[in-house]
Structure 1
Amino acid sequence: MTAHIIVLSRPDPAKAEEAKKGADSVQPLLKAAGIIPKLRAPVADRLASKCDLATVLVLEFPDQAAPKGFFDQQAYQDLIPLRDNSFLQMEIHILGA
């Protein structure tokens, strides 16, 4: 059964170049794992939110174990400091069945 990840993010405007570098660095990892984004879109409007999110990304993984393996891999772990330093908000959630 497939698993979906939803990523909610807001880059730090003062570190936009670093945020782009971090986001671009994840793309080859996704490609190598055969993961294709199902949806990537800017947040156009808010109906109910306490957060000022900029982007929503939905990823589909082949099974429930794949997301943890992807995010636990060393190549992704090495990007976490860049991610944490260049985004004001970054939430990554595994969606349930």
Structure 2
Amino acid sequence: MARTASALHILVKHKELADDIMAKLKKGAKFDVLAKQHSSCPSGKKGGSLGEFKQGQMVPQFDKVCFSGELITPHLVKTKFGWHVVKILYRT
């Protein structure tokens, strides 16, 4: 079972914007560019990079996707902070 993961994310308040970002990613838009433009999280300035984190360190919904979701494929996750577009880079 994975103990650490690395992910990028874009945090927005509204599902409509999250859906729009997902659509742009499917058309080939760069994740880091969209993160800098739209993310309300401080990580947006770093292209959405959260670096490496341990399982259980993030809120449960986010954690579940990061440790069970498909790598590289963007995922949409709702948490108490808003809507996250998450791209899992790797797990160890």
> Per the shorter chain, which TM-score range?
0.3 to 0.5
Larger radius of gyration: 1
* TM-score, normalised relative to structure 2: 0.32
